[in-house]
């Protein structure tokens, strides 16, 4: 007996543009592992996700009929091949086939002119098909957890000016060619846990490079290896820039002299003083395969905090994902400042200056649920922006636009820069998006600001994380994954460095003592937040069983 697919029927009936099928193994078994033919008649779909299905081993060639698809997510299945008809998806921007059993990809993959993000991590790939440079809009690629011995040649060329992120950890890559310098848009490079022995000095010519990870490689240059293990991106690039060329060799090497600056001298002096007092710490950071984050519990039960989504919000900025995180210790030293800096960096990089997505963080104690994600006329709602007085949304945007223009004139620039670059996203909108609490107070106005009412401080122990986007639900989830991973890294750093509470100049508010069990570890606790429409139909639950699909050596999830 053929299985019933109510989600597909509903999508066809309501002319939906988004469809998510998760954990539908029972129905796949009834249909001999095949997806329903009706699925490929949904010509209006621009987002399709089929994930977490151990019975799904192939995708039919009919996938090419969904010509309006912009995002295709086929992660955590048992796919062994991908049909060449995927090349017919000429509007496709995001392709995620991570955590499958793919040994090769179709050569037609390189004929996707709009492809921006490619995730093929956690498969069995030894190489990618040639011609990847034809995907000139490619910005992010994830190759982690495969069997590659070299980076695909098509990646390392000037034909990919937008390529900003390469993640290729846990492969068998033996060499990083000097052609990496041709990627002038590269911002993040992760080649951790490979078989590299040298790093080319040309890497320092990547002008926009901000974050690199070479941990887990056995580098010949032990000084460089020490910098790598200490996550010292700036020092590594400076070492390559000065040392590599100064030594007259193509790779950085142990014999290359590097001039010691005043900052290095002060650091060494502090280390000697610590050693003399018996308090020296090992400045080596653990290998990346060590546990960085342990999630003690993810509740499967309905939580007190729920978010409803109004129909008007779906027309303005439709996608929102939220999560509660407990155990983040923001009291010591510069912990809060580091966290806020990291959030700003995520806005610049993965959020593409807030144009793809926007992050907001709230002190959970100050959030009065249930919450409503709504869109309202800008004159009709007010907010107390961070570090400002209460103002209505229309006047706030006008004020920020004026400030942006004044800043542009003062700096004699042609274009607006700084924090005001995302103001244009609201141009022409009759309604503005907002997150409203149970007291009808606006606590977030994406992509502009969140409210001073729920601002996090050093005393914050539990956070509500919020990611919104006008692009796709998957973008929200990707940003949330990155945010949680960064929080785990920062919390671990704070724990290991044992900074004194209140050692910076920021005012510290009185608060209840931190939970002793949490304070003595860097472990975080994640709690689900449910987002549903006004009829109560679940839209998204984060983190679900298919979320946080990150490197298992870095995350341990205990449900």
- Three-state secondary structure string covering 317-360: CCEEEEEEEECCCCCECCHHHHHHHHHHHHHHCCCCCCCCCEEE
Q: What is the pLDDT of residue 493?
A: 86
Q: What is the pLDDT of residue 230?
A: 76
Q: What is the pLDDT of residue 130?
A: 87
The predicted-structure confidence for 356-390, as pLDDT tens digits, reads as follows 899 999 999 999 888 999 999 999 899 998 888 89
Strand residue runs (E) in 259-312? 293-295, 306-309
Placement of tokens 């449910």 in the chain: 530
Q: What is the pLDDT of residue 419?
A: 54
Of the candidates 527, 550, 553, 499, the one whose C-alpha atom is nearest the C-alpha of residue 329 is 499
Q: What is the pLDDT of residue 1?
A: 55
Q: Indicate the SS3 state at residue 367.
A: coil
The predicted-structure confidence for 272-291, as pLDDT tens digits, reads as follows 544 444 444 444 333 333 33
User: Band of the pLDDT at 528, cuts 50, 70, 90?
Assistant: confident
The DSSP string of 464-515 is: EEEEEESS-HHHHHHHHHHHHHHHHHHHHHHHHHTPPBT-SSS-----PPPP
Residue that wins the pLDDT comparison between 269 and 16: 16
Placement of tokens 């997150």 in the chain: 435
320 CB neighbour count, 10 Å cutoff: 25
Mean predicted confidence (pLDDT) in 314-331:
90
Q: What is the pLDDT of residue 517?
A: 39
- Please state the separation of Cα 183 from the chain's center in Å: 21
**Highest mean pLDDT pick, 20-29, 240-249, 318-327:** 318-327
CA distance 13 to 211: 46
Q: What is the pLDDT of residue 277?
A: 46
Is the pLDDT at 96 greater than 50? The verdict is yes
pTM above 0.85, yes or no: no
Q: Is the distance from CB of 183 to CB of 164 less than 8 angstroms?
A: no
What domains are defined for the chain?
7-123 (3.80.10.10), 126-260 (3.80.10.10), 293-504+514-557 (3.50.40.10)
Q: What is the pLDDT of residue 353?
A: 83
Of the candidates 335, 363, 390, 321, the one whose C-alpha atom is nearest the C-alpha of residue 503 is 335
Q: What is the pLDDT of residue 40?
A: 93
Q: What is the pLDDT of residue 507?
A: 40
CA distance 2 to 434: 44
> Would you mind telling me the total number of residues written for the chain in this entry?
559
Q: What is the pLDDT of residue 69?
A: 94
Residue that wins the pLDDT comparison between 315 and 513: 315
Lowest model confidence (mean pLDDT) among 232-236, 256-260, 395-399: 256-260
Is the pLDDT at 516 greater than 70? The verdict is no
Half-sphere exposure of 483 (CA within 13 A, CB side): 30
Q: Residues 294, 469, 349, 391: is their CA dihedral positive or negative? A: negative
Strand arrangement of the beta sheet that strand 94-96 belongs to = 18-22, 47-51, 71-73, 94-96, 117-119, 140-142, 165-167, 188-190, 211-213
The predicted-structure confidence for 416-464, as pLDDT tens digits, reads as follows 455 566 777 888 888 999 999 988 899 999 999 999 999 999 999 899 9
CA distance 149 to 158: 22
Q: What is the pLDDT of residue 369?
A: 81
CA distance 356 to 359: 10
Is the pLDDT at 252 greater than 70? The verdict is no
Lowest model confidence (mean pLDDT) among 128-137, 272-281, 403-412, 493-502: 272-281
Residue that wins the pLDDT comparison between 515 and 144: 144
Dihedral, CA atoms, 307, 308, 312, 316, nearest 10 degrees?
30
């Amino acid at each position: 007996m053929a299985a019933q697919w109510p989600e597909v029927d509903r999508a066809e009936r309501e002319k939906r543009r988004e469809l998510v099928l998760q954990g539908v193994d029972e129905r796949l078994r009834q249909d001999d592992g095949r997806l329903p033919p009706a699925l490929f008649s949904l010509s209006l779909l621009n987002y399709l996700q089929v994930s977490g299905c151990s019975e799904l081993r192939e995708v039919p060639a009919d996938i090419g009929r969904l010509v309006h698809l912009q995002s295709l997510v086929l992660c955590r299945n048992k796919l062994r091949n991908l049909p060449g008809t995927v090349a017919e998806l000429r509007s496709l921007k995001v392709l995620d086939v991570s955590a499958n059993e793919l040994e090769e990809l179709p050569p037609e993959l390189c004929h996707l002119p709009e492809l921006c993000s490619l995730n093929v991590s956690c498969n069995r790939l030894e190489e990618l098909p040639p011609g990847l440079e034809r995907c000139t809009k490619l910005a992010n690629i994830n190759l982690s957890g495969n069997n590659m011995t070299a980076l695909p040649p098509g990646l390392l060329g000037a034909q990919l000016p937008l390529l900003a992120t390469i993640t290729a950890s846990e492969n068998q890559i033996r060499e990083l060619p000097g052609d990496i310098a041709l990627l002038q848009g590269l911002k993040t490079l992760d080649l951790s846990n490979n078989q590299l022995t040298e790093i080319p000095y040309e890497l320092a010519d990547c002008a926009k490079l901000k974050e690199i990870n070479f941990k887990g490689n056995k580098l010949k240059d032990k000084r460089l290896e020490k910098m790598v293990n200490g996550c010292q991106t700036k020092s590594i690039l400076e070492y390559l820039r000065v040392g590599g060329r100064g030594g007259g060799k193509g790779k950085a090497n142990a014999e290359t002299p590097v001039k010691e600056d005043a900052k290095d001298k002060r650091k060494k002096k502090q280390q000697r003083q610590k050693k003399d007092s018996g308090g020296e710490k090992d400045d080596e950071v653990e290998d990346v395969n060590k546990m960085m984050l342990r999630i003690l519990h993810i509740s499967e039960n309905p939580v007190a905090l729920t978010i409803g989504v109004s129909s008007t919000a779906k027309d303005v900025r439709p996608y929102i994902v939220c999560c509660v995180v407990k155990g983040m210790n923001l009291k010591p030293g510069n912990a809060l400042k580091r966290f806020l800096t990291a959030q700003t960096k995520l806005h610049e990089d993965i959020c593409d200056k807030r144009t793809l997505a926007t992050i907001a963080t709230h002190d959970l104690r100050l959030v009065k649920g249930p919450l409503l994600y709504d869109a309202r006329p800008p004159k009709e709602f007010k907010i107390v922006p961070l570090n400002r007085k209460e103002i209505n949304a229309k006047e706030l945007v006008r004020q920020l636009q004026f400030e942006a223009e004044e800043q542009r004139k003062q700096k004699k620039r042609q274009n607006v820069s700084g924090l005001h670059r995302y103001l244009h996203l609201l141009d022409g909108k009759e309604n503005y998006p907002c997150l409203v609490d149970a007291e009808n107070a606006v606590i977030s106005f994406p992509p502009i600001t969140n409210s001073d009412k729920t601002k996090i401080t050093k005393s914050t122990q539990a956070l509500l994380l919020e990611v919104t986007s006008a692009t796709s639900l998957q973008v929200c989830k990707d940003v949330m994954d990155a945010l949680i991973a960064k929080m785990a890294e920062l919390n671990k750093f704070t724990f290991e460095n044992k900074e004194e509470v209140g050692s910076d100049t920021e005012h510290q508010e009185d608060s209840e003592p931190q939970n002793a069990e949490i304070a003595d570890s860097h472990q975080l606790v994640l709690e689900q937040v449910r987002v549903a429409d006004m009829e109560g139909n679940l839209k998204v639950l984060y983190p679900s069983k298919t979320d946080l699909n990150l490197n298992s050596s870095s995350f341990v999830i205990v449900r």
